[in-house]
Structure 1
Amino acid sequence: MAGKEICRLICTDARASLPPVILTNQEAVVLGRCPITGIMDKKLSRQQVEVKANIEGRVLHLKQLGSHPSLIAGTALMKDQETTILDGDRFQLLNDKYEYQVVFLAQPAPESIKAKPTGSDSKRAKGDITDFFQKKTSKRRISEDEPYPETSSQKKPKMDGPSKATSKRNYRGTVSDSEDSDDDSSKSTTENLNITSDTPSERSGRKGKNYHRVVSDSDDSDAVNQAPSTNTSQKKNYHVRVVGSDRQDSCKDGVSYANRTALNNRSDYKKLISGDDSDRHYRDKGNAVRRKVTSQKNYGGAISNSSDDDDDVQDPESMSIKAKLTSLQQNAKRYLEKRSANCPDTSKPDSQLPATVETDAPPAASAGAGSQLGRPATDSAWEDRGKLVVYTSRGVQASDKIAGFDLDGTIITTKSGKVFAKGADDWRILYPEVPRKLKTLHSEGYKVVLFTNQLGIGKGKLKMEDFKRKVLGVQSKIGVPIQALIATGEGMYRKPVTGMWRYLCNHANDDINVCTSSSQYIGDAAGRPVDWAPGKKKDFSCSDRLFALNVGVPFYTPEEFFLGQRKNAFNLPVFDPRKLSASGPMLVPHHAQIPAQGHAQEVIVLVGFPAAGKSSFVKRHLLPHKYIHINRDTMGTWQKCVAATESALVKGQSVVVDNTNPDPESRQRYTACAKKAKVHCRCFVLNVSLDHARHNEKFRRMTDSGKNHATISDMVFHSYKNKYKEPMTAEGFDAIVRVNFQPSFSNVKEESLYKMFLLEK
């Protein structure tokens, strides 16, 4: 039989022979110059470090207390610095001395546990009333006819009537396990449990000063009419007696006759469950003595193992409870059916997700109503999916309700106060309310999931092993099972794009469909302006709010969710891809046509941002009319573009110049060609803003269309913006035409992606 898992700190220092330190789950232990370690070095502080093992996460949390540093991977810890150590890693307690290795392993089962109990023993193994009493190891009388030994402090009980219960110093309540297979059954009965099945008169006669409780399954109606015997052989310290008769209960008038008092407030006695709620009569010398149980505090209860026929009779209260239970079950079933019909399935990649409805406060606790949960994960695991790394801690359960959180600035912040962490250990929990709130969500059936962008890992600025240690440390602090999805590069997985959410729904939630209306997302990148709170800077981006909008779940900032603050103002991007439409005129003015009416030959000069859709416009609308496509990306230099334009015009062909052409100087090269050839010349300006063009570029990178285009950096976009001058007819154009962007897609999946917010800010 396997025991519970523990953490061992094993000394691996060849210069010292020290005993291992055993840690249980979440137990804080201070190590230093103390008996726990056995170290007597005076340079070592008595309180050198505090260690706490997180068994579920298989990580050791360590805090430096002493002034002399401890070492982890060769790095010295400063006083009050905290860090985490993974299973199998090592640390030095004092500089480079006293090295310990962290090892998580299962504690061996006690030797006394030899085999799994079977039969009646299996029931006994689960625990019964006898578990609450210590076995008395001293000798006991076998027969009740044996007299009590007389001492100066011990007298025979008076037998002239029922007396009060003895005080707790006289209590020796020894009810042993009569089903223990290792003991002889007869010995167990007479020596330890003292179970009797004698006559009612004999039972009545054993009421002495120290008799506290009788738990009887007898149905002998004569028991209430018998006067107590004056048998003086009643043992003084015998308090609890179990009468194991199968006869029906004789007590039918609901009046208690047992002197039921608390079992001396024993610290190891917590609760007894009574299976016999009826009160009984007890008459002493013809005078009825009735004692009620006034509170659960004074009556621990008694356990009855009878098979009374009264169990088949249901009182009105029981019937009412059953009726209420049936009603609740029916209501829950209807609720589940209704919610299943209303909740969209977000696991399908092509599903169209609704926009988030902003609310003033986080949803009220649902106490787990209607939660669909999977089996808890048996082990913690890390999974590397290229630009996505997934961590699943032990105990995580799949759920149809997701509580999603950003990490930095939402769950944690820097301990140093810097904007960016100085290292893997430069963090602390953002607000004291965070662990409590997450534990509440976990108890309500939510799956707690972290969604975090960590581009520094992909660029080599942050080591993945250091970040793993950080995640494990955070999980140890918050104290709930979590799942973490970490985007380490650009592309589909980076927020606000929904790649991480889609992966969760399709591959990391045990095929349980996620209900967006019951889920929520919390993050600090919310698009709040400067001074959204006194002295606060504006949010560095809007990626968290946009991520929630793309997914279709309610969104809250950390202050709104954890602290209950009111909602702050925020700014969404000016460019909203959801509002784009393919309807409406493509060219403005409306009378503009392709090709130009009344002109056999012309030059069209395109003007627009990179990724504004110029090449797509040419291929879709101009090449079918035999225009010659002039493009600097394919030809290399503007000189070659000018030469190709002149050559086409000499041949009587129309030309379209597909370059950005931001200023009069770049455009004048082609108006001069048209003037020289005496042909019509128009300027087509694409109505695409900077953010719209950046959105198009991001979309390219995530689809097949990006294979034919070079990556465009933000520097290129801003360079064009700075050079741009509005085209004018004075430059030599016969007309200036505006081209409205009209998107077209190969499939529904592409359209769904394009109409999401793809830019972080």
Structure 2
Amino acid sequence: LLSHTRGFSTSMKRFLVNSGSNTAAKVAKVEAAPTGASGNVATRPKPLLTPTILTNEDISQARTSVLDKWTSYGGIMYKLSGPRKDVTDMVAFDMDGTLITTKSGKTFAVNEHDWKLWDPSVKTVLQRLHAEDKYLAIISNQSGVKEKKITKEALQSKVDSVIEALGVPMDFICAVEDDRFRKPRTGMWEFLCQARSATSSSASDASSGTTTVATTASVATKVFDPNEIESNYSDDEYAQPRASIAPGTAATFSTTAITTSTSSSPPLCAPLMFASSLYVGDAAGRLKEGTRNKDFSDSDYKLALNLGIEFATPEKYFLGSTSRLHCQLPDPSVDVATPVRMIDVASATDNKDDSFFLAPETRAEPGPVEIVLLAAPPACGKSTLARRFEQGGYTRVNQDTLGSIDKCLLRARESLCQKDQRSVCVDNTNMDPKARARWILLARELNVQIRAVALSTPREVCGLLSSYRLLNPNTEPGDRRKIERIVINTYFKNPVYPSPSEGFTSVETVSLDLVLPTEPQALRLFHMYIK
């Protein structure tokens, strides 16, 4: 189950315990989380070799990008600076708090002019890297655009000024939405790799806005089947690639061995694994120490972990600091005091009682119809559980699908009162007694039993599942929606769990297990830190 995952499951493992529940399902094995990195090297990375988050449209957009021109695409804004020969590695930087800081001394810039270089050494180091012919890029989260704290035009002007002050050509890309491109997700890095594979080895005419896409020969030396990618790794969760794909190998993944690409051909995936790539950022998850506040995030460090590349804080990289605070990074796992049993409900297993999900009227000894009311937080796996009941013969009633609680009650009444009566599973959050009361009244009116099934998924897991569901290319279209953090937090602020005193025939608590995905892209996504 989770034993082969890295970032996502490292957070999840803290929630797992080796104990059963009332559905007697198997429980995932608990494994120790990795220790923090020493120095600037990400802990036991599993290098990312090919695009994981990008869609075919993303790759096509990247490989036909116009040079020296600001471009907005989906949730990113970027500018590629001039043609460059093929690159073998990338040195990339966060911007705010790494290359620059505020002149005002405030945490956040008051306007696009409120900045200065983080330290004079920044310009010196970058100019040395440029002299060494390194490929330099800025990869930044800029949520202020969406929050209307800064306009795109003002941000573009600011970035142009920063790069001019640094005196070296640099590509810039930023995420303005909470989607596949936002760090620590690897979308921006992947996008630059695809863009540079085209622009660095093919003719580009910025003035006419056209770019010739490179052929496979100029991008890669070997073609691998994406369905075989995981076989190139050992079973060790953090294993390096086997010798068949050595670090730094130019590898492209394609379902067919395409030798030439045109604008109408399927996009070719350039390699993401470079010989000595590095990411430098201040969001390293460092804890409060003395008068220094804790880092606001660990997204920069997690990006490096996701990619399997080296990472450095700006203090270490630019100033040469050897301080433990700047060099020894904490384990980015989630710490949760209360564990939860994660039970597999996605497929039947020999050690699980399927009668738990079987509608009473469909059993060998039929019983009267009933209502099963789920009480669970958003993004906890509730709909997965509901579909299992649906497979067992229940009519699934979901407010997101039907649009209102009144329509849900009407659909349930129809199912319970029709000639061929069918039990009902209510697939809503039902977060308080008031929301559940209408269903209890319906059960009394129709003289049917109603039992509550509560899911005990912790808040942190719900947040992870919400992000994974949004990013997973195999998520059902109806389920691929963003659930804001405030919605999840509101549920857990004052939860009132169902009780028999409300009028339920019984109240049962279950937990969900996560089944390791089998589709290669989803599996690689599952390995990542996504929050």
Alignment TM-score, normalising by the size of structure 1? 0.45
Q: Secondary structure at the match of 2:356?
A: coil
Change (3 A) 1:412 1:448: same
The Cα offsets for residues 33-54 of structure 1, whole Å up to 9 and x where unpaired, read as: xxxxxxxxxxxxxxxxxxxxxx
**Equivalence for 1:708:** 478
CA deviation after TM superposition for structure 1 residue 432, in Å: 2.5
**Equivalence for 2:301:** 545
CA deviation after TM superposition for structure 1 residue 729, in Å: 4.0
Change (3 A) 1:478 1:737: same
**Equivalence for 2:195:** 507
Q: Distance in 2 between matches of 1:517 and 1:357?
A: 24
The Cα offsets for residues 44-82 of structure 1, whole Å up to 9 and x where unpaired, read as: xxxxxxxxxxxxxxxxxxxxxxxxxxxxxxxxxxxxxxx
The Cα offsets for residues 655-685 of structure 1, whole Å up to 9 and x where unpaired, read as: 1011101123323433454455554543222
Q: Confirm or deny that 1:721 pairs with 2:409.
A: no
Whether the aligned pair in 1 keeps the contact of 2:459 and 2:492 (CA below 8 Å) is: yes
Mapping for residues 64-75 of structure 1, pairs under 5 Å: none
Q: Confirm or deny that 1:741 pairs with 2:419.
A: no
CA deviation after TM superposition for structure 1 residue 743, in Å: 4.3
Change (3 A) 1:606 1:582: closer
**Equivalence for 2:452:** 683
| Letter of the 1:684 counterpart | V
Whether the aligned pair in 1 keeps the contact of 2:343 and 2:510 (CA below 8 Å) is: no
CA deviation after TM superposition for structure 1 residue 568, in Å: 4.8
Match of 2:400 among 622, 633, 657: 633
| Letter of the 1:615 counterpart | S
CA deviation after TM superposition for structure 1 residue 646, in Å: 4.0
Q: Secondary structure at the match of 1:603?
A: strand
The Cα offsets for residues 590-637 of structure 1, whole Å up to 9 and x where unpaired, read as: 546221676623321112122223223323x22233211222234444
| Letter of the 1:625 counterpart | G
Q: Distance in 2 between matches of 1:356 and 1:604?
A: 41
Q: Confirm or deny that 1:468 pairs with 2:235.
A: no
**Equivalence for 1:526:** 284
Q: Secondary structure at the match of 2:125?
A: helix
CA deviation after TM superposition for structure 1 residue 701, in Å: 3.6
Match of 2:356 among 562, 578, 593: 593
Q: What residue ranges of structure 2 are gaps of 5+ in the alignment?
A: 1-32, 42-65, 201-218, 220-249, 251-270
Match of 2:92 among 395, 399, 404: 404
Change (3 A) 1:705 1:425: same
Change (3 A) 1:728 1:658: same
Change (3 A) 1:424 1:700: same
| Letter of the 2:395 counterpart | I
Change (3 A) 1:695 1:431: same
Whether the aligned pair in 1 keeps the contact of 2:193 and 2:272 (CA below 8 Å) is: yes
The Cα offsets for residues 525-549 of structure 1, whole Å up to 9 and x where unpaired, read as: 1222223xx3122222221122222
Change (3 A) 1:671 1:683: same
CA deviation after TM superposition for structure 1 residue 501, in Å: 0.9
CA deviation after TM superposition for structure 1 residue 438, in Å: 2.4
Change (3 A) 1:393 1:523: same
Q: Distance in 1 between matches of 2:175 and 2:395?
A: 44
Q: Which runs of 4+ in 1 moved over 6 A?
A: 580-583, 585-589
Q: Distance in 1 between matches of 2:400 and 2:433?
A: 20
The Cα offsets for residues 137-182 of structure 1, whole Å up to 9 and x where unpaired, read as: xxxxxxxxxxxxxxxxxxxxxxxxxxxxxxxxxxxxxxxxxxxxxx
Q: Distance in 1 between matches of 2:80 and 2:413?
A: 64
CA deviation after TM superposition for structure 1 residue 728, in Å: 3.5
Q: Secondary structure at the match of 2:191?
A: helix
Whether the aligned pair in 1 keeps the contact of 2:40 and 2:328 (CA below 8 Å) is: no
**Equivalence for 1:236:** none
**Equivalence for 1:216:** none
CA deviation after TM superposition for structure 1 residue 362, in Å: 4.2
Q: Distance in 1 between matches of 2:123 and 2:341?
A: 45
Q: Distance in 2 between matches of 1:641 and 1:412?
A: 54
Whether the aligned pair in 2 keeps the contact of 1:403 and 1:446 (CA below 8 Å) is: yes
Whether the aligned pair in 2 keeps the contact of 1:387 and 1:458 (CA below 8 Å) is: no
Percent identity of paired positions between Structure 1 and Structure 2: 29
Match of 1:693 among 462, 480, 486: 462
**Equivalence for 2:332:** 572
CA deviation after TM superposition for structure 1 residue 583, in Å: 8.3
Q: What residue ranges of structure 1 are gaps of 5+ in the alignment?
A: 1-354, 364-377
| Letter of the 1:498 counterpart | T
Whether the aligned pair in 2 keeps the contact of 1:684 and 1:739 (CA below 8 Å) is: no
Look at both structures and tell me which one has the larger radius of gyration over its CA atoms: 1
Change (3 A) 1:413 1:484: same
CA deviation after TM superposition for structure 1 residue 758, in Å: 2.2
The Cα offsets for residues 470-507 of structure 1, whole Å up to 9 and x where unpaired, read as: 22322233333322112233322221111111112222
Q: Secondary structure at the match of 1:455?
A: coil
The answer to which of 409-418 and 516-525 deviates more is 516-525
**Equivalence for 1:655:** 424
Change (3 A) 1:409 1:682: same
Q: Secondary structure at the match of 2:496?
A: coil
Change (3 A) 1:468 1:648: closer
Whether the aligned pair in 2 keeps the contact of 1:609 and 1:720 (CA below 8 Å) is: yes
Q: Secondary structure at the match of 2:145?
A: helix
**Equivalence for 1:480:** 168
| Letter of the 1:519 counterpart | S
Q: Distance in 1 between matches of 2:405 and 2:67?
A: 62
**Equivalence for 1:136:** none
Change (3 A) 1:555 1:683: farther
Q: Distance in 2 between matches of 1:581 and 1:483?
A: 46
Q: Distance in 2 between matches of 1:728 and 1:517?
A: 58
Whether the aligned pair in 2 keeps the contact of 1:629 and 1:657 (CA below 8 Å) is: yes
Q: Distance in 1 between matches of 2:148 and 2:476?
A: 25
The answer to which of 401-410 and 466-475 deviates more is 466-475
The Cα offsets for residues 276-300 of structure 1, whole Å up to 9 and x where unpaired, read as: xxxxxxxxxxxxxxxxxxxxxxxxx
Change (3 A) 1:581 1:604: closer
Q: Confirm or deny that 1:422 pairs with 2:110.
A: yes
Match of 1:453 among 128, 141, 149: 141
Q: Distance in 2 between matches of 1:699 and 1:593?
A: 28
Change (3 A) 1:413 1:593: same
Q: Name the structure with the higher helix share.
A: 2
Q: Confirm or deny that 1:605 pairs with 2:373.
A: yes
Whether the aligned pair in 1 keeps the contact of 2:397 and 2:426 (CA below 8 Å) is: yes
CA deviation after TM superposition for structure 1 residue 406, in Å: 0.4
| Letter of the 2:522 counterpart | E
Q: Distance in 2 between matches of 1:382 and 1:714?
A: 31
Q: Distance in 2 between matches of 1:616 and 1:388?
A: 32
Q: Distance in 2 between matches of 1:480 and 1:523?
A: 19
Mapping for residues 87-102 of structure 1, pairs under 5 Å: none
Q: Which has the higher contact order (CA 8 A, sep 6+)?
A: 2
Match of 1:561 among 317, 333, 337: 317
Mapping for residues 296-375 of structure 1, pairs under 5 Å: 359-362=37-40
| Letter of the 1:641 counterpart | C
Q: Distance in 1 between matches of 2:152 and 2:113?
A: 14
The Cα offsets for residues 295-344 of structure 1, whole Å up to 9 and x where unpaired, read as: xxxxxxxxxxxxxxxxxxxxxxxxxxxxxxxxxxxxxxxxxxxxxxxxxx
Q: Distance in 2 between matches of 1:472 and 1:640?
A: 54
Mapping for residues 256-271 of structure 1, pairs under 5 Å: none
Q: Confirm or deny that 1:756 pairs with 2:528.
A: yes
Q: Report the count of equivalent residues.
A: 385
Change (3 A) 1:400 1:626: same
CA deviation after TM superposition for structure 1 residue 735, in Å: 4.3
CA deviation after TM superposition for structure 1 residue 454, in Å: 1.8
